[in-house]
Amino acid sequence: MSSTTLTDALLRLVSEYQDFNSSRAEVLESAPNALEFSRLVAAGRPALIKGLGRSFLAFRAWTPSYLSKAIAAPVEIAVTPSGNADALVAHPDNGKTYFVEPHKELMPVSQFFELLERRDEAELNPRGEVHYLQSQNGNLADKEFAPLRADVPPSIDFVDQALGRKPDAVNIWVGDERSTTSLHKDPYENIYVVLTGSKTFALFPPTEGICLHESLYPAATYTRRTPSSALELTPSSDAPPVSWISVDPLSPAASSQSPRFAHARPVTVTVAAGDALYLPGGWYHHVQQAGRPCVAVNYWYDQEYAGERFAMREFLRAVTELAVGEERLEGETAARDQ
C-alpha cells in the first residue's frame, strides 16, 4: 500500500470524526456527578466545567503576597528568551531546529513575582527573559509547596469515583501572557483549574495526528555560561531525539508550511478564573494564558489502558508514523531522480 493511500485513509478518518463530532467543547454550568463525568470520559470529548475552582480556598487566597509568604524555600523557575519552553527553536548559528528545554533557576517566590510584575524594567530584567513556574511532575507534593496543599483539594471527588482512582499528580502553574505551551499531548485524563487570569486551549483529537506533522528533533537546553550571562541554545550531547510537533496552530502560515494541517479543526476553549477544563488523555493541546499572574492547578489522572481505546490510539499512531515515513521517503526518492 502506498503512502498516499495511507495518508488518504487517515485524512478520511479525520473527516469522518469531524462529521460526527462538534467543533465546540461541551459546557457544563456546574460540576457533574460521577455518572455524568463517566459519560464524558467514554465519549473522549473535552468539556468546560463552570465554577469548579470557585470552591477552592486557593481561588480567594492565592495572591502574589500570600504565595510569597507561604512558600519560604526557593522554587524552580523555567527561564527562556521569549516564553517558548519545551518547544522547537532554530539554532541561531546553524539554523537547525531543536527541541529545547528551558533553563532552570532556583529563586524565592517573591523574586519570581517581582520579575513578572516589573518584567519590562531593564535594571531588573535586562534581556527581557520570560519566567514561568512549570516544574510539573506533581510539584505540589514537593516540600517547598507543602504550605499550599490545604488550599486545594487533593483530588476531585467526581473524577475519583468515575475513574476509580486518585490523581497521579497535582501541579501548580504560575506565569504571564508571554509564556505559551507548544502543541503536544499527555497520557493523562486532565482536570485543569484556573484560579486567576485565564487560559485559552487549542485542542485537537487523537484522530488528527496525521494533520500535525510530528517528527523527531535533536534535544537541546537553554544554558548560561555564567549566572549573569545571556541564555544560549546548547545542543545535548547524550539525549535521544524528541518527537514533537512543528505546527503552531496560531500562525497564519501554519497550513502553507504544514499542508496537512489544513484538514485539522481545532476545538478552542477559554478557561476563565474559577472554571476548569476536562482534557481527555491523548488530545493534542496548545495553551496561551492571560493575566499577570495567571495561576492554575491541574490534576493528572492515569488514563485507562484496559479495553480497546488505548490499543487503537497506539495503532493509529503507528500507522501515522508509517504514512509520514513513506511520504518522506517518496519525496527523497523524487528529489534524487530529478
Q: What is the DSSP string of 2-18?
A: -HHHHHHHHHHHHHHHH
Burial degree of 157 (CB within 10 A; 0-12, 13-18, 19+): exposed
Rounded Cα gap, residues 49 and 31, in angstroms? 6
Rounded Cα gap, residues 157 and 141, in angstroms? 19
Rounded Cα gap, residues 267 and 284, in angstroms? 10
Give the H or E element holding residue 194: strand 188-204
Rounded Cα gap, residues 154 and 330, in angstroms? 51
Verdict on whether the full-model pTM lies above 0.75: yes
Q: From first to last of the 338 residues of the chain, give the pLDDT tens digit.
A: 444 689 999 999 999 999 999 999 999 999 999 999 999 999 999 999 999 999 999 999 999 999 999 999 999 999 999 998 899 999 999 999 999 999 999 999 999 999 999 998 888 888 899 999 998 889 999 999 999 999 999 999 999 999 999 999 999 999 999 999 999 999 999 999 999 999 999 999 999 999 999 999 999 999 999 988 999 999 999 999 999 999 999 988 888 888 999 999 999 999 999 999 999 999 999 999 999 899 999 999 999 999 999 999 999 999 999 998 877 777 667 667 76
Closest CA to 44 of 266, 270, 282: 282
CB 79 within 8 A of CB 130: yes
